Every structure is written in C-alpha cells, then in structure tokens.
Amino acid sequence: MRILVVDDDERIREIVRLYLEAEGYETDEAENGNIALEKVRNGTFDLIILDLMIPGLDGWTVCKVLRKETQIPIIMLTAKGEENDRILGFDLGADDYIVKPFSPRELCARVKAVLRRLDGETSREHLITFPGFTINQITREIVVDGIEIKLTTKEFDLLLVLTKNPGQIFTRDQLLNSVWDFDYCGDSRTVDTHINRLRSKFDSQVGFSDFIHTVRGVGYKFEYNGR
C-alpha cells in the first residue's frame, strides 16, 4: 500500500512517514496542493492524507479536484475541528477526518480502517469484466491477459464510459461532455486523439486494440468478446 502525505509542515510529514512506514506502508510527500495533484496524476496511491491549510491550492480545492478524477480514499488533516468543516470535508468526498494535534498511532489506525473498508467495498460490483479483460473502478486498474495497462486519467475515464455501455454508440460531443465536462473549451478532435492513444497503448502492451470501434460519421463504441 502506498500513501501520499500532503502537509506544508515538514516535521509533521516526517512523523507521519515514520509511523506509516513502521506499519509497512510506502509513502511519498507533497508540501502543497499543486505538487499533490501532480503526484497523484503521475503516480499510484492507495490513500491520501491531506492537510486542509496548505499553500497554493488548499486542501478543500485539492479534494474537490481529486474527486472528479479518482476515488482514492482521502483522510483530511486539519487544525480546525468545527462541525461545519467536517461536514464540508465529507461533502467534498473525504473518507475520514482527523484534527490536529493528533496521535500518530490514531492516524495509523484511521488509515487501516479506511483501507479495510475500501477492501471490503472492492467487490464484483466495482469490476467491469470481459473475457481476459478487467477494469477496477475503485483502484482504476486495467488488466488484460494478466498485463496491467497504464493509462492517464482522461484515457481511463474515456475507456470507462465506453466499457460501461458496450455496444452503445457515443458521439464525440457526448464523450466530451462525459469525460471533459460541459465547460471544456476544446473541440471533438480531442476525443479522436485520446482514442488513438488508447489504441496505441493497448497495441504496444497486449498486441490488440480492436475493441474500440469507429462508427463513421457518428463516433465510437466498445465491443469485445475476448480473443
């Protein structure tokens, strides 16, 4: 299990890191919100410990952005203990909340509890499966013929929309709205570019990509029955 600790206080990051590593977890650190987002987008983490009062993008904003991109569990860490702050944190998608000053042992216990709960929730209902092809919607892992396929956030989201609706034809505008939201300022060629990247990655890693079908003049659909 790999955990990202986000806090601008180096001493707190060090204490949390030592306790987590003593429990067998791998850790990485970020001192502000911008670095945290960059590390999550370019790495793999099982849980994030997120301080709210960090420079750059604050913890509220980081949590809000992350919840649009991933379901990695988040434990919020803050000096604020007011009920409204806790409620807002949970409304934004936090999985737990701990107030400073805190016991590192209690934090480790909270980490274990959240991860156990996640493990219990990771059942068949969170898996999209086809013969030899599995997508885990919680961990955002894709495994084809025993090989894990590494995708960017948008590539994964695009593939997820298609695979959750096999056989359904999506126009480029529908995919833009589903993956990039309505306020996206680009054009439909963005969809074509990401489809091409998906096909290229699957071709290079497992030797096939013919499950994403182009419907001329309309858009794309997903059809796959194994190889």
**pLDDT, one tens digit for every residue, the chain (227 residues):** 899 999 999 999 999 999 999 999 999 999 999 999 999 988 889 999 999 889 989 988 999 898 888 888 999 988 766 666 667 777 778 888 888 888 999 999 989 988 887 765 544 567 888 888 889 887 888 998 888 999 888 899 999 999 998 999 999 988 988 887 655 555 678 899 999 999 999 999 888 888 999 999 899 999 987 66
Residue found by looking up tokens 């977890």 in the block: 25
Class of domain 127-222: mainly alpha
The pLDDT score that the predictor gives to residue 184 is: 52
Q: Which residues contact 219 (CB under 8 A, 6 or more apart)?
A: 169, 170, 171, 172, 174, 175, 191
The pLDDT score that the predictor gives to residue 126 is: 77
The pLDDT score that the predictor gives to residue 37 is: 94
Cα–Cα distance for residue pair 188/173, rounded to 1 Å: 6
Phi and psi based region of residue 153 (left: phi greater than 0; alpha: psi -120 to 50; beta: remaining): alpha
- Domain 2-119 carries which CATH code? 3.40.50.2300
0.85 surpassed by pTM: no
- Domain residue spans in the chain? 2-119, 127-222
